[in-house]
Amino acid sequence: MIISVPVPPGTFTIGKTFDFEAGHRLPSLPTDHKCNRQHGHSYQVEVILTGSSLDGPGFVTDFADLAPFKAFLDSELDHENLHQLLPFEPTSELLAQFLAGWFVQNVQPGIAGKLVAVRVRETARSWARFDLAEV
């Protein structure tokens, strides 16, 4: 027997987490602040996408289509000194905004889902999230 229920309207949301290792420092902080000193993190970056309809067999976006984002993290940020590489102080907040911009420019044109946020986690207990504005 096939079970049927009424399907409510709404949107679907998915997320995928990627990771990379990198060092950084925040040189604008006072010299006695611990984040002014060189240190590293095992970063976790989560992209959050939404869609009001589903593609293919029932996907907001096929997770495999997010591979270019992982490739960018691996080739450009992994095992780098972020403060020497990026044109801003690499706080988690600014890194989340930067990664959202890269994703929108390089991944989003080729996928069905729409990026709504990027979360950057430096540690198990601290993270920053950048939410894209509605346009």
Q: 48-99: per-residue pLDDT in tens? A: 999 999 988 999 999 999 999 999 999 999 999 999 999 999 999 999 999 9
Q: Which helix (H) or strand (E) holds 17?
A: strand 12-24
pLDDT for 47 beyond 80 = yes
Which residues have CB under 8 Å from 107's CB, separation 6+? 65, 66, 68, 69, 115
**Cα first-last separation, the chain:** 45
Catalytic residue among 39, 93, 122, 134: 122
Q: Is 51 helix (H, G, I), strand (E, B) or coil?
A: strand
Residue ranges and CATH numbers for the domains of the chain are 12-131 (3.30.479.10)
- What pLDDT is stored for residue 119 in this prediction? 98
pLDDT for 12 beyond 80 = yes
- What pLDDT is stored for residue 51 in this prediction? 94
- What pLDDT is stored for residue 132 in this prediction? 98
**DSSP strands (E only) in 25-95:** 39-51, 80-81
Q: Is 101 helix (H, G, I), strand (E, B) or coil?
A: helix
pLDDT for 3 beyond 70 = yes
Catalytic residue among 35, 46, 80, 83: 35
The span from the CA of 30 to the CA of 32, in Å, is 5
- What pLDDT is stored for residue 134 in this prediction? 81
pLDDT for 37 beyond 70 = yes
Does 122 qualify as catalytic in the annotation?
yes
Does 24 qualify as catalytic in the annotation?
no
pTM of the prediction?
0.94
Catalytic residue among 33, 39, 76, 79: 79
Does 134 qualify as catalytic in the annotation?
no
- What pLDDT is stored for residue 135 in this prediction? 65
- What's the mean pLDDT when you consider all of the chain? 95
